[in-house]
Structure 1
């Protein structure tokens, strides 16, 4: 089934499922890319007034913009910090205060957050392409860095798909828009 591709910030993320028969890397990255593309799709046509609007009283940071920012920084955390061993200094997920700093983006336009997310995904894909799926992370300060690239890809697929569900629910509560992909 052929679906639309999303083009932004000089990259294209396909909303097409990977082939039924392909090598492991092609399938893992293909499924992850499809989920990544759904992030922008879920945000298309959203009114500017709703980009930062909370609809879940017990989770006020769970907004469309907050989730996009969170997913961007989660990509950075797993691929750049834990896998490559880069510094975590610029990543708000590692801040102790305020809690959930990566989701506190009240002043950031959603379009900018989406572009930053897709740029991070492109960087993550470059990292994936340059390493064996059996290679483990390198950051010496975090036990999660012991995971293989394969494990990280599977985790990111789960993480991204879970947040697509959140985006689905929030969008439907905001303006009634819904759709699978």
Structure 2
């Protein structure tokens, strides 16, 4: 009985909370043009701080272009941190956003929206002392709040370090996660 009372209080509070203060949590069916607007025109970017476990002043993924027909994008990553760490610099990023349509259960449509995959790559330095990394993950959009889209990204980084003639030294896969911000 007590649990139901608290639930009623919470639901009652949400009813009176202005719509602009609530995050829209419905499923999203964005197009590449919509993603271009969020990332390029609105200048929203990801802070890849692994859910607060790393320095939030590093690893900012900014988008400079998103092709509205196929999701190919360019951008920059400020101070990429993978093992071993690259000095704080801005490195160019090349990638692709892929929109996967929601097929729902047994191929029947549902209200969950589409699924958004992101892959991108960067390289820094030369063959002897260079490093490169590829990221593969997924984006979850959490809804507009205060006119700004909220979202998260998470996935896996694979990086290699050049060893000057000895071949590339791969590092083990590393997780990454971040929040969409402005």
> Do they superpose with TM above 0.5?
no
Query: Which structure would you say has the larger Rg?
Result: 2
Which has the bigger relative contact order, CA under 8 A and spacing at least 6?
1
Structure ranking higher in helix proportion = 1
- TM-score for the superposition, normalised by structure 1: 0.24
Structure ranking higher in strand proportion = 2
